[in-house]
Amino acid sequence: MKLKILILCCALLTALFALAGCADRKNEPGTSTTTTYADMTGNGTYDADERGIVDDDKDSDNSIIENMPESTGTRSTSDAIGTEEPKDVTDSGIVTGTSDTTGAITSDEAAFASSYISTMSFSENSIGWGLGKERDSENRPLDAVNAEKKYADLGARFLTSGEKRICLTFDEGYENGYTASILDTLKEKGVKAVFFVTGDYCKSAPELVQRMIDEGHTVGNHTWSHPSLPHCTQKEVWADITKLHDYVKNEFGYEMTLFRFPMGEFSERTLDDVHQLGYTSLFWSFAYADWDPKATTDPAEALAKIEASTHSGIYLLHAVSKTNAELLGSLLDYWSENGYTVGAEI
């Protein structure tokens, strides 16, 4: 009997040592299973161990990324994956420990946090909007047709939705003396347009902004300081757009809903930012080099170019161009004679 008990104890001890050895091997290098998450900046990967803790393999101390790096425009991954204690996100885009002494998250912060997390899957790559020469059977640029499908869910528009409908838009970075003439022509022809303004424009030409509003045109947000948004942090993007939004609302009693990216430079991430702010991003399906006053174009030549490109789409003209001011009446007549409805609607 004693021999049997001794044999049983030895077998039990052997099994316990074997189990301990397996546990140790789980922590040896190369034996753990990791899940890799794409790095939003494209410069590396984030590895999550079996506990779900995300380490940045680019950091020498392997510390967990906790805050959105404001200098790079990238986002925090640890909060989005949900592996740490919940953190509050303020409506200015800063991740903090708590929003108040009770640790409660406000409704505004919760709404922003939802947006913050959803953008983690969007590319940060900067895209410069431009159009190729290929066109479909309706004379619409194929690039605009494809972009309309690709970015519709992010609130971006590149074409109009109706047949023979043209949305006429002007970018107003600064006043060059032609906007009043353009407004005169639009009033004479009974046509409404969209004017995208900046902070400088609103401060330097408030009487023209007020006239746009009074005469039934649509005023759109072109940012406060005209930066390249893909190169800004999320906090900077939200601040620049909302600064102009609030300024126009306070100074003119007008609330803007349409947005145009400065220089046509955007990313999927910034498209989502603009959409989350309640804006529709208006791009264009036609534009020509009219933004440089020194590079003058003959009005007849410019008119012929625009007429040849006529299609149901969004037209971008710059109000700093003397040529545009001179040809506008003839262009509106041409479109009307060919059965197009021209206005601010998309």
Of the residues 105, 121, 137, the one at which a domain ends: 121
C-alpha 337/C-alpha 332 separation (Å) is 9
Q: First and final CA of the chain: distance in angstroms?
A: 93
Residue 320 covered by a domain: yes
C-alpha 236/C-alpha 242 separation (Å) is 10
**Phi, psi (rounded to 5 degrees) for 65:** -75, 120
Residues 100 and 240 in one domain: no
- Residue closest to 77 by CA, chosen among 119, 107, 109: 119
Number of other CB atoms surrounding residue 41 within 10 Å: 14
Residues 204 and 336 in one domain: yes
C-alpha 337/C-alpha 168 separation (Å) is 16
**Phi, psi (rounded to 5 degrees) for 87:** -120, 145
Q: What is the pLDDT of residue 152?
A: 95
Residues 158 and 294 in one domain: yes
pLDDT tens digits along 79-129: 332 333 333 333 333 323 233 333 343 444 444 444 444 445 889 999 999
Residues 181 and 302 in one domain: yes
Residues 239 and 187 in one domain: yes
* Residues in the chain, pLDDT under 50: 3, 17-119
For the chain, how many structural domains are there in total? 2
Please state, rounded to an integer, the average pLDDT across all residues of the chain. Answer: 75
The residues assigned a catalytic role are 171, 318
Of the residues 72, 100, 121, the one at which a domain ends: 121
Domain limits at 70? 42-121
C-alpha 312/C-alpha 30 separation (Å) is 59
3-state helix, strand, coil in the chain (%, to 5): 40, 15, 45
Asked whether 106 and 144 are in contact (CB, 8 A), the reply is no
Beta strands in 194-333 (DSSP E): 194-197, 218-221, 258-259, 265-266, 280-282, 313-318
Residue 10 covered by a domain: no
- pTM, entire model: 0.67
